[in-house]
Amino acid sequence: MDDLPDALLCHILSFLLTKKAVATSVLSKRWIHSWRSLTILYFDDQDYFILRGGEDKGHAHFAQSVNAVILSRDDHQPIHKFRLNCFNASSKYLDILNVNAWLNAAVDRHVQTLDISLCCERRTPLISYVIFNSTTLVVLKLQLLNLEPPVSSLDVDLPLLKVLHLQNVVFSKHDCLAMLLSGCPILEDFKARDLCFGTHVTDKEFKTSPK
């Protein structure tokens, strides 16, 4: 494995959860810094709530791990895909400021795919709207998020976005969804399910055919 080109080694590591990719650094001296050049980051809090002494400690350890990876990466390497699953953190322990800092870091590094799922007691309010003005984003998937304050108060500009999937997302009103879609001029694949507009919840599913 030590004879593999760096690009191929990073490609192999990209198929692992980022936590496991970092753990491979103990296998070889050459692998110590390989994970720092990963362009695909995948974080899942599933493993952090086992034998951690409670949910608060589990999520604290998860947040520390994600922060450590992002701060330790090679700043010259872009992030092509950023996937974040928080299925075990209740709204009591999930720090949305951390989440938004991670999203900002991904956008700053020219992210192309964002896949964010935040399963909480309440749909988590998204504070940072920088993702809606990304000039590199091609795929955006959001689940269990609250897009209030209204997206309609922003200038949505996603010139390269082709795929938009929304599930259990809260908007302040129907116009906000229209504003979001109007900022995606080349959108090809749109799916939405279980959206909430103000106090009105719809269980309808919306789909568009490619192109």
**pLDDT value at position 26?**
42
Residue 210: phi, psi to the nearest 5?
-50, 130
**pLDDT value at position 134?**
94
Structure tokens at 120: 């909480």
**pLDDT value at position 120?**
56
Give per-residue pLDDT as tens, 111-165: 999 999 887 555 566 767 889 999 999 999 999 888 876 565 668 899 999 999 9
**pLDDT value at position 6?**
59
pTM, rounded to two decimals: 0.78
**pLDDT value at position 123?**
59
- Separation between Cα atoms, residue 205 and residue 26, nearest integer Å: 46
Domain ranges of the chain: 1-38, 40-207
- Separation between Cα atoms, residue 1 and residue 147, nearest integer Å: 45
**pLDDT value at position 25?**
47
Region 1-18 average pLDDT:
56
**pLDDT value at position 164?**
95
Q: Which residue has the tokens 């009103």?
A: 173
Question: For residue 159, is the peptide bond before it cis, meaning its omega torsion is within 30 degrees of 0?
Answer: no
**pLDDT value at position 190?**
93
Q: Please check whether residue 175 is in contact with residue 197, taking contact to mean a CB–CB distance below 8 angstroms.
A: no
Q: Which of the listed ranges 39-53, 85-99, 119-133, 167-181 does the model predict with the highest average pLDDT?
A: 167-181
Q: Which of the listed ranges 65-69, 123-127, 181-185 does the model predict with the highest average pLDDT?
A: 181-185
**Residue 11 backbone zone (phi > 0: left; psi -120 to 50: alpha; other: beta):** alpha
**pLDDT value at position 196?**
87
Region 160-183 average pLDDT:
89
Structure tokens at 2: 């030590």
